[in-house]
């Protein structure tokens, strides 16, 4: 693979056709089709920690994907939502529900 999965997923999610077009064998038209078909399916890959393997999808990543979608639904940009989730994931804290994740995100914002 030419670039990390996470980087490509972020490009797809942010609809960065120009960046996708730089991949070997992908032109502008193909990049637009990729974005159109995969944009909403890249969340778990865009949130991937660099050391994770794509096949190792667990309930925590599903939980973070749901939290990401919740942040988007209340008006956060994709980049902002990703950054907020990454900040609460870094300490290694375990969350049981999406509400727990969102509570932690907004409590950190108050500080």
72 and 109 co-located in one domain = yes
Q: Decide: 88 and 101 in contact? Cβ < 8 Å.
A: yes
39 and 66 co-located in one domain = no
Joined together, the tokens standing for residue 64 give 């973070």
Neighbours of 48 (CB within 10 A): 21
**Statement: residue 12 has pLDDT above 50:** yes
Summarised one tens digit per residue, pLDDT across range 25-71 is 888 898 898 888 887 777 666 666 544 444 434 556 678 888 888 88
Distance between CA atoms of residues 8 and 16, nearest Å: 9
Summarised one tens digit per residue, pLDDT across range 63-107 is 888 888 888 888 888 888 888 888 888 767 788 888 888 888 888
Range of the domain at 33: 1-50
Q: How many domains does the chain have?
A: 2
72 and 24 co-located in one domain = no
96 and 68 co-located in one domain = yes
Contacts of 81 (CB under 8 A, 6+ apart): 68, 71, 72
Distance between CA atoms of residues 83 and 5, nearest Å: 17
Residue where the block lists tokens 């490509």: 8
């Amino acid at each position: 693979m030419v670039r990390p999965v996470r980087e490509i997923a972020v490009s797809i999610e942010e609809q960065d056709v120009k960046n996708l077009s730089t991949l070997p064998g992908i032109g502008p038209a193909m990049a637009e089709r990729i974005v159109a078909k995969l944009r909403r399916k890249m969340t778990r890959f865009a949130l991937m920690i660099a050391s994770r393997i794509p096949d190792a999808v667990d309930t925590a990543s599903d939980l973070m994907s749901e939290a990401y979608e919740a942040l988007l639904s209340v008006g956060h940009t994709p980049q902002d939502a990703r950054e907020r989730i990454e900040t609460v994931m870094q300490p290694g804290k375990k969350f049981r529900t999406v509400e727990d994740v969102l509570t932690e995100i907004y409590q950190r914002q108050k500080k």
